[in-house]
């Protein structure tokens, strides 16, 4: 055995030496037939790595091609070509494999085919690996790329003006500063191209510096969303782009966390959550690392910087005239003194003034006018520039005059309706918000000293007593020692500002430097003269490019990309003559209309309308504007929607319209079918949404109100009157005062609205009227004021007399046999007469907020057609209540009941109403002094579980506890459809207790909760577990120290409490809770919170946020800066919240 060993060892080694290479080679080729899938997959993975690497190399090559030496340039070119070839080969090979797999499955009998695919994948995989390891210049993506050079094309050949070099130097000093609190610089200016040019200079200043690992330039874009900003940063850093927004933010944050970086964002026009983008906080000089951000915006968006939380503001003002003249002269390349040339010097001077100091435009116009000597050509260009820049000049001039001119007190902005005067006024408001007391007042066509005072008192949160003289003193005393800016929108006639209460003289007080300024808008130049304004500014129509951009924004790029549409769209824009309101409404009407015939029809409609002549009377001009904007009305999808739009004009000009009130109007006019208890309101709200989408109706922020633009309202009235034919069917004088009714066409009109006009009497008319709709709400009418008129209104179907001084119901009203809708709410009616039962066609009756004590038997039961009734019965006797509810139960068509009863005797009062379709219930003060209110007494009634949508518990000074006990022996109930709960003015209430049950079981669909004036309420912890709660408002509590805490949760819920806290809460408002120290502890979360409002909470120190802010939080609104500074937050939280911070108006 021992002798054999050397031989065997030698033979084995020899055999291995000879055989192994042949075996390995054979085995490898055999395995190709069975490893095709694995080979193709590995090839694909490495090819994807190569694609990502190629993107970084290609970007760097394009940016630095001219600065690379010849050898490296050639190496890079060859490397990119090889990459393209290998990527293409991999895709082709993978496609072959995929096709074979689909046909034959993973075990294809064709070994030859598998062999070829696998062999090619393995061989080319080695080439791919080789390229990955030989990137030219070793510019690997894992290494921080050099800043991309951005060429400054704007200033070639003209140099940057000296004033811009000064600004640039200041910005650079901020950027390189080691101050830990200097993180974000906000820059703004009126010239977009000039702004971008300066940012490029900032970028280029760091090309040869080693201060920053990354200089990231995010170019101008109309989409400044988090996703878009992330995409630009990811592209710049050569990172993967897959994953959702949060994943990408994490990647960016990890890449930048330990680096010096400079982020430059151009043309930002909206708030941007840098934390959500992935920018690591805090910004500034942090741990020896520079984290800097530069934000650039147009002047009109300068407030964006405040929202983001900039540490330094830098303005790029327009150039002064001398500097503007010099830049223009350099750009035109004139040899000698341009302005001394007798032929073109004066024209050049005028053109420079028209351009208004915008650097990029001075350069552009200068280049375009080179070698131009013809005076006519110069005049055409001057006219074009004058028209083009007057709008931007209007804004800049106005801001400058308000801020710096000591003698200028009043400024008048004038132009036709719909041209953008209000938009300009809002920009002024935004600019000065926080700098002085800014008061916005909408004057409208029937303005008076009293109306202005009412609005000013409301804006300043002061109380008035209705006496003009006294209110004038209150306003004067408040403003006397303050800088203020009064913005008067849509003024139609002279108003005595001294009588209103404004301290005079206007201007800038020389000693105290207080600013007292007024800016008004009007359609009539004569108003400017009457108000003795020192400066008039005309707002012109939009130029062609501006008009096109506005129209494109509204119609959408998707529509314009359809075949044959873009050229037609330009023709349509030309026909609208630059009127912004027409461009907006018609643009929305053409949204998603992709067939050329639809656009041809729109063009024909516009061409039939007369052209706007700016020399005409503005009021006559607007009729031509109506013809253009009527296209939006004509394109509404149904006649019902058109009629709904027209009826919105029954409300006074500029008045915010309650959505519920508008829904009731449409229901009463037969424009919305009742259906079941909830559907009519849902249908009405859907129609309102359609009108808002068509830009014919406007939302009013977070309130449940809508409104009409005054020009849109005028167009609505114009349409209702036969488009200028004065058919006499409609007569609307809502909100105009009692002295404007001498010419009411009583004999011919079918629709009359005299709402909110301080009327005390109506005329008696001898002949029968054609009247169908009469709106007289919000006046001062008595029974005798209207009785005579109603005698002759036999055809009347819709009558609104709400909010008047009626102490009874006129007998003549009870004989209106055709009446369908009657609103008598908010009067002083005490008795319903027996003859009221004659209204047998009445479907919709509103009688709430009266003091009705007498309702005879068989009155309600005779109203057989009734579908909706709003009726308070808390003042009638118990027997009358029972009778009313029993009679309502006999009405076969009844769909909706809204009622009020006493709080503590509710269960007894509502016993006979248990089966009624009660949609809204108000439980109000009772004479009983019981301290506990048992919610189970209401919940056990059928309507509470099936139809009750709104519940209001209010006005009691004795109740200390609202309780709900669901004992095992009692049947469990829930408010199955309740959406809105209001608890108001329960002065002694300390808690709402739910025992043996959970909030989600009792209130499964509660969406809105409002608790106000419950002074002794200690907490609202039970609300944390409402599964559908979206809005929560808490106002005025003097006993609440912590609003929400798990400590207060009832331990008898038997484990039924939800595992998730506030799962749907979007809006949380806590105001005037003077003892509140903290909102909630760290264990209370707000996963869906979008808006948090805090005001009047002087002891509040804690917010329920750690470093992980609510992911959806958009706005933190506090009352003033001291409230923000007082908050004690974890390190870094303030920096995260800063971009979301806003302040309530003063």
pLDDT at 156: 41
Q: Distance (Å, rounded) from C-alpha 136 to C-alpha 53?
A: 11
Could you tell me which residue, 551 or 69, shows the higher pLDDT?
A: 551
Residue range 1014-1031: average pLDDT? 92
Cβ of 92: how many Cβ atoms within 10 Å?
10
Q: What's the pLDDT tens digit per position in 560-570?
A: 888 888 888 88
Distances (CA, A) of 592 to 640, 642, 711, 967: 22, 20, 25, 58
Question: In degrees, to the nearest 5, what angle opens at C-alpha 959 toward C-alphas 954 and 964?
Answer: 90
Residue 42 has which token pair? 């590995």
Contacts of 866 (CB under 8 A, 6+ apart): 842, 843, 844, 845, 860, 891, 893, 894
Sketch out the chain's domains with CATH numbers. 22-138 (no CATH), 162-315 (3.40.50.300), 321-393 (no CATH), 406-538 (3.40.50.300), 990-1146 (3.80.10)
Nearest alpha-carbon partner for 196 in 213, 218, 228, 225 = 218
Strand partners, 292: 262
User: What does the pLDDT read at residue 794?
Assistant: 92
Question: In the predicted model, what is the mean pLDDT of residues 383-392?
Answer: 69
Higher pLDDT: 1028 or 732? It is 1028
Per-residue pLDDT band at 154 (split at 50, 70, 90)? very low
At 1059 the pLDDT is: 57
Tokens of 644: 């709904």
Cross-strand pairs, 297: 188
Confidence tier at 147 by pLDDT (50, 70, 90)? very low
Percentage of residues in the chain with pLDDT exceeding 70? Answer: 84
Query: Which residue, 408, 448, 400, is CA-closest to 532?
Result: 408
- CB-CB contact of 388 with 378 (8 Å): no
pLDDT at residue 364 tops 80: yes
The predicted model gives 893-904 an average pLDDT of 86
Identify the pLDDT of residue 196: 87
Cα(667)–Cα(681) distance, integer angstroms: 9
pLDDT of 636 higher than 90: no
- Distance (Å, whole) CA 371 – CA 333: 9
Torsion of CA 559, 563, 567, 570, to 10 degrees: -10
C-alpha to C-alpha distance for 347 and 571, rounded to whole angstroms:
32
**3-state DSSP call for residue 874?**
coil
CA-CA distance, 26 to 698, in Å (whole number)? Answer: 79
Which residue has tokens 């829904």?
663
* pLDDT 10s digits, 158-184: 467 888 888 988 888 888 888 888 899
Q: Residue 363: is its pLDDT beyond 80?
A: yes
Can you give the pTM of this predicted structure? Answer: 0.62
Mean pLDDT of the chain: 81
pLDDT (tens digit per residue) in 216-249: 888 866 567 788 888 888 888 878 777 888 888 8
Q: Nearest Cα to 966, choosing from 1059, 1062, 1053, 1033?
A: 1053
Pairing of strands 1091-1095, 1141-1143: unpaired
The predicted pLDDT at position 917 comes to: 94
pLDDT for 157 equals 33
Model confidence at 102: pLDDT above 60: no
Q: Which of 34-43, 69-78, 743-752 has the highest mean pLDDT?
A: 743-752
Kindly report the three-state secondary structure assignment for every residue of 906-956. HHHHCHHHCCCCEEEEEEECCCCCCCEEECHHHHCCHHHHHCCCEEEEEEE
Cα separation, 908 vs 1104, in Å, equals: 43
State the pLDDT at residue 269. Answer: 77
Asked whether residue 924 carries a pLDDT value surpassing 90, the answer given is: no
């Amino acid at each position: 055995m021992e002798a054999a060993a050397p031989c065997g060892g030698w033979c084995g080694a020899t055999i291995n030496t000879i055989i192994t290479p042949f075996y390995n080679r054979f085995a490898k080729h055999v395995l190709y037939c069975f490893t095709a899938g694995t080979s193709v997959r590995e090839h694909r993975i490495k090819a994807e790595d190569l694609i990502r690497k190629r993107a970084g190399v290609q970007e760097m090559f394009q940016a630095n091609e001219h600065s690379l030496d010849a050898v490296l340039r050639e190496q890079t070119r060859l490397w990119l070509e090889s990459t393209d070839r290998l990527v293409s080969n991999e895709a082709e090979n993978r496609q072959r494999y995929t096709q074979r797999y689909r046909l034959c499955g993973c075990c294809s009998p064709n070994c030859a085919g598998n062999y070829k695919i696998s062999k090619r994948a393995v061989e080319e995989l080695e080439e791919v690996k080789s390229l990955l390891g030989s990137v030219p210049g070793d510019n690997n993506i894992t290494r921080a790329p050099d800043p991309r050079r951005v060429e400054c094309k704007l200033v070639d050949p003209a140099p940057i003006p000296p004033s811009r070099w000064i600004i640039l130097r200041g910005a650079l000093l901020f950027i390189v500063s080691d101050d830990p609190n200097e993180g974000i610089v906000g820059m703004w200016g009126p010239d977009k191209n000039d702004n971008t040019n300066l940012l490029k200079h900032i970028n280029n200043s760091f090309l040869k510096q080693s201060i920053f690992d990354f200089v990231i330039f995010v170019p101008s874009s109309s989409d400044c969303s988090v996703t878009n900003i992330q995409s630009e940063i990811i592209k710049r850093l050569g990172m993967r782009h897959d994953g959702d927004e949060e994943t990408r933010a994490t990647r960016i944050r990890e890449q930048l966390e330990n680096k010096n970086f400079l982020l430059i964002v151009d043309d930002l026009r909206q708030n941007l959550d840098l934390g959500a983008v992935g920018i690591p906080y805090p910004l500034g000089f942090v741990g020896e690392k520079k984290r800097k951000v530069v934000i650039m915006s147009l002047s009109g968006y300068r407030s964006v910087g405040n929202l983001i939380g900039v540490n330094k503001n830098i303005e790029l003002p327009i150039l002064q005239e001398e500097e503007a003249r010099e830049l223009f002269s350099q750009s035109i390349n004139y040899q000698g003194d341009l302005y001394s040339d007798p032929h073109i010097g004066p024209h050049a001077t005028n053109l420079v003034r028209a351009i208004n100091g915008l650097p990029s435009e001075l350069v552009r116009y200068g280049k375009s006018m080179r070698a131009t000597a013809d005076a006519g050509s110069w005049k055409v260009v001057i006219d074009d520039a004058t028209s083009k820049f007057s709008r931007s000049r209007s804004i800049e001039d106005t801001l400058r005059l308000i801020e710096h001119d000591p003698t200028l007190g009043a400024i008048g902005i004038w132009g036709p309706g719909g041209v953008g005067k209000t938009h300009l006024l809002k920009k002024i408001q935004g600019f000065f918000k926080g700098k002085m007391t800014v008061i916005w007042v909408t004057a409208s066509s029937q303005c008076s000293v009293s109306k202005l005072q009412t609005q000013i008192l409301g804006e300043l949160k002061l109380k008035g007593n209705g006496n003009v003289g006294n209110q004038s003193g209150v306003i004067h005393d408040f403003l006397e020692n303050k800088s203020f800016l009064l913005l008067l929108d849509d003024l139609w006639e002279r108003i005595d500002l001294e009588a209103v209460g404004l301290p005079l003289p206007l201007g800038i007080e020389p000693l105290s430097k207080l600013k007292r300024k007024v800016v008004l808008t009007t359609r009539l130049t004569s108003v400017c003269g009457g108000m003795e304004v020192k400066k008039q500014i005309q707002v012109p129509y939009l130029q062609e490019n501006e008009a096109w951009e506005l129209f494109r924004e509204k119609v959408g790029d998707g529509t314009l990309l359809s075949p044959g549409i873009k050229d037609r769209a330009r023709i349509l824009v030309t026909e609208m003559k630059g009127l912004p309101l027409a461009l907006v409404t018609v643009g929305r009407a053409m949204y998603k209309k992709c067939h050329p015939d639809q656009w041809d029809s729109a063009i024909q409609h516009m061409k039939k309308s007369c052209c706007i002549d700016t020399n005409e009377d503005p009021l006559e001009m607007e009729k031509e504007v109506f013809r253009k904007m009527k296209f939006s009305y004509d394109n509404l999808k149904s006649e019902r929607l058109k009629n709904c739009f027209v009826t919105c004009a029954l409300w006074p000009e500029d008045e915010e319209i309650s959505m519920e009130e508008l829904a009731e109007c449409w229901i009463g006019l037969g424009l919305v079918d009742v259906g079941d208890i909830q559907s009519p309101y849902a249908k009405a709200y859907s129609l309102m949404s359609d009108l808002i989408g068509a830009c014919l109706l406007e939302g009013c922020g977070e309130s449940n109100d809508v409104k009409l633009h005054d020009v849109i309202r005028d167009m609505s009235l114009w349409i209702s009157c036969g488009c200028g034919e004065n058919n006499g069917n409609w007569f609307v004088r809502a909100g105009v005062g009692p002295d404007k009714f001498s010419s009411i066409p009583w004999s011919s009109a079918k629709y009359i609205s005299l709402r909110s006009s301080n009327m005390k009497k109506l005329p008696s008319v001898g002949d029968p009227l054609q009247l169908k709709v009469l709106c007289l709400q919000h006046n001062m009418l008595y029974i005798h004021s209207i009785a005579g008129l109603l005698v002759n209104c036999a055809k009347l179907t819709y009558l609104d007399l709400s909010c008047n001084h009626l102490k009874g119901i006129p007998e003549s009203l009870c004989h209106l046999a055709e009446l369908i809708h009657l609103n008598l709410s908010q009067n002083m009616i005490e008795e319903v007469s027996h003859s009221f039962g004659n209204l047998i066609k009445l479907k919709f009756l509103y009688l709430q907020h009266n003091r009705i004590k007498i309702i005879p038997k068989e009155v309600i039961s005779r109203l057989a057609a009734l579908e909706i009734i709003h009726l308070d019965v808390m003042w009638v006797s118990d027997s009358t209540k029972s009778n009313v509810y029993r009679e309502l139960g006999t009405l076969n068509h009844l769909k909706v009941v809204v009622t009020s009863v006493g709080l503590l005797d509710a269960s007894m009062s509502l016993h006979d109403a248990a089966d009624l379709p009660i949609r809204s219930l108000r439980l109000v003060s009772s004479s009983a002094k019981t301290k506990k209110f048992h919610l189970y007494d209401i919940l056990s009634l059928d309507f509470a579980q099936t139809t009750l949508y709104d519940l209001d518990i209010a006005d009691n000074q004795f109740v200390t506890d609202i309780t709900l006990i669901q004992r095992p022996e009692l049947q469990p109930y829930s408010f199955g459809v309740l959406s809105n709960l209001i608890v108001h003015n329960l002065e002694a209430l300390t808690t709402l207790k739910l025992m043996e049950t959970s909030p989600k079981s009792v209130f499964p669909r509660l969406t809105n909760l409002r608790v106000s004036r419950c002074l002794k309420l200690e907490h609202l912890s039970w609300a944390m577990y409402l599964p559908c709660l979206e809005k929560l408002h808490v106002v005025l509590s003097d006993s609440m120290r912590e609003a929400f805490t798990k400590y207060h949760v009832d331990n008898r819920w038997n484990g039924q409490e939800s595992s998730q806290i506030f799962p749907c809460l979007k809006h949380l408002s806590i105001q005037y809770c003077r003892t509140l120290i903290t909102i909630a502890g760290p264990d209370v979360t707000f996963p869906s919170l979008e808006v948090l409002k805090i005001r009047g909470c002087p002891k509040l120190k804690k917010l329920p946020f750690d470093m992980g802010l609510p992911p959806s939080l958009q706005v933190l609104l506090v009352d003033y800066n001291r409230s923000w500074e007082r908050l004690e937050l974890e390190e870094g939280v303030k920096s995260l919240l800063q971009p979301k911070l806003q302040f309530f108006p003063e």
